């Protein structure tokens, strides 16, 4: 910044008047001007001098950041060091942002699943009396086998196995041989089967884990790197929509002020995370603190979420960058 200060103005004016105040001591002149006269001249002319003087201000700062939003629009942040957010990221590399809103139903499509007509496969080991040996075979079967009892009764309709299983052993014994009957009976209460076949299974759980939310495609020649706050934390935020406050809330709040409530009426611990995020690279767990993911080939970073409670809307924001990578082959190519 370059500014012509008022003090410099005074000096210049005083210098201009110097010829009037210092005559030749040998000339015998009597044209000296005392300090009162000088001050009067400054007071009379200072404002006119300032009004006709150019003051140049030059700003020298650089903090231009472009954020790519999830709708592919761009937000340009330009200004001094007091920008919209501060953190650690690579200069000259565009900062990416994913902003995802989702619910349990979005991730599992529960309303669209036809549980009764789903099918499943199961490797079953059993004794075959004809060959007198134990065998293991892959069986493909329909979930309709768990909606048999009452199917001929127009008033009651089908009674699902998990509502009342008292008639199912007899039904399977009538329709199938002993192997199929025993197979169905042995897996009926398994969680993996109920996720496929039981239309009431999701109604009884408080929350759900290991749900795939998003996949980030990492092109060959680049690596994914999370951006961090100045405190060293990844720039990642988790929220849920709080109907009580009509705000996106980043704390579970226990049972207070519109906090998350489980289907059984209980609540998460006060100030517990709204939900949990885990990432995977090359099918192995990966975290922002590990630095980079990708580079040698086209790859994918998967984002999974845990502790997702039914009937709530959630939101995840994550800032990251794609950093150029010069891959050096170690295969001798």
Tell me the C-alpha to C-alpha distance, in Å, between residue 34 and each of 19, 137, 297, 328.
Answer: 13, 118, 86, 83
- pLDDT at residue 199, as a whole number: 86
pLDDT in tens, the chain (333 residues): 444 444 454 555 555 545 544 445 454 544 555 667 666 766 666 666 445 543 333 333 333 333 333 333 333 333 222 223 334 556 667 899 999 999 998 898 776 778 899 999 999 999 988 889 999 999 999 999 999 999 888 777 889 999 999 999 999 999 999 999 999 999 999 989 998 999 888 766 788 888 999 999 999 999 999 999 999 999 999 999 999 999 999 988 776 788 898 888 888 876 678 999 999 999 899 999 999 999 889 999 999 999 999 889 999 999 999 999 888 766 655
d(C-alpha 44, C-alpha 11), whole Å: 16
- pLDDT at residue 41, as a whole number: 66
List, for residues 141-181, the tens digit of each pLDDT value: 999 999 999 988 877 788 999 999 999 999 999 999 999 99
Tell me the C-alpha to C-alpha distance, in Å, between residue 188 and each of 146, 178, 191, 193, 294.
Answer: 8, 15, 9, 7, 42
Contacts of residue 255, Cβ cutoff 8 Å, sequence gap at least 6: 261, 267
- pLDDT at residue 270, as a whole number: 62
Token pair recorded at residue 180: 């199929």
- pLDDT at residue 152, as a whole number: 85
CB distance 2 to 58 below 8 Å: yes
List, for residues 192-206, the tens digit of each pLDDT value: 999 899 988 876 678
By CB neighbour count within 10 A (0-12 exposed, 13-18 middle, 19+ buried), where does 320 fall? buried
Token pair recorded at residue 104: 């349990």
Give the largest CA-CA distance in the chain: 145
The radius of gyration of the chain's CA atoms, rounded to the nearest angstrom, is: 38
pTM: predicted TM-score of the whole model, two decimal places? 0.53
Alpha helices in 188-251 (DSSP H): 191-197
């Amino acid at each position: 910044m370059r500014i012509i200060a008022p003090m410099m103005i005074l000096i210049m004016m005083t210098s201009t008047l110097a010829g009037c105040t210092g005559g030749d001591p040998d000339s015998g002149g009597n044209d000296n001007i005392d300090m009162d006269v000088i001050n009067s001249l400054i007071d009379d002319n200072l404002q006119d001098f300032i009004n006709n003087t150019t003051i140049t201000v030059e700003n020298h700062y650089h903090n231009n950041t472009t954020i790519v939003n999830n709708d592919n629009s761009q937000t340009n942040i330009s200004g001094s060091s007091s920008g919209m957010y501060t953190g650690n990221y690579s200069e000259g590399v565009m900062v990416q942002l994913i902003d995802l809103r989702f619910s349990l139903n979005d991730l599992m499509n529960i309303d669209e699943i036809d549980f009764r007509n789903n099918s499943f496969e199961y490797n079953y080991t059993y004794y075959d009396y004809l060959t007198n040996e134990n065998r293991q075979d892959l069986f493909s079967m329909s979930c309709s086998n768990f909606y048999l009892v009452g199917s001929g009764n127009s008033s009651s309709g089908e009674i699902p196995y998990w509502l009342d299983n008292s008639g199912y052993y007899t039904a399977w014994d009538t329709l199938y041989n002993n192997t199929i009957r025993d197979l169905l009976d042995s897996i009926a209460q398994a969680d993996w089967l109920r996720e496929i076949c039981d239309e009431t299974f999701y109604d009884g759980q408080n929350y759900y884990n290991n749900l795939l939310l998003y996949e980030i495609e990492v092109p060959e020649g680049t690596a994914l790197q999370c951006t961090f706050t100045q405190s060293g934390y990844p720039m990642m935020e988790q929220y849920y929509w709080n109907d009580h406050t009509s705000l996106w809330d980043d704390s579970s709040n226990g049972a207070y002020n519109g906090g998350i409530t489980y289907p059984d009426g209980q609540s998460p611990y006060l100030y517990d995370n709204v939900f949990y995020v885990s990432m995977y690279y090359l099918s192995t767990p990966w975290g922002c603190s590990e630095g980079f993911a990708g580079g040698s080939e086209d790859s994918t970073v998967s984002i999974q979420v845990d502790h997702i409670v039914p009937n709530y809307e959630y939101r995840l924001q994550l800032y990251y960058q794609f950093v150029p990578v010069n891959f050096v082959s170690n295969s001798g190519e």
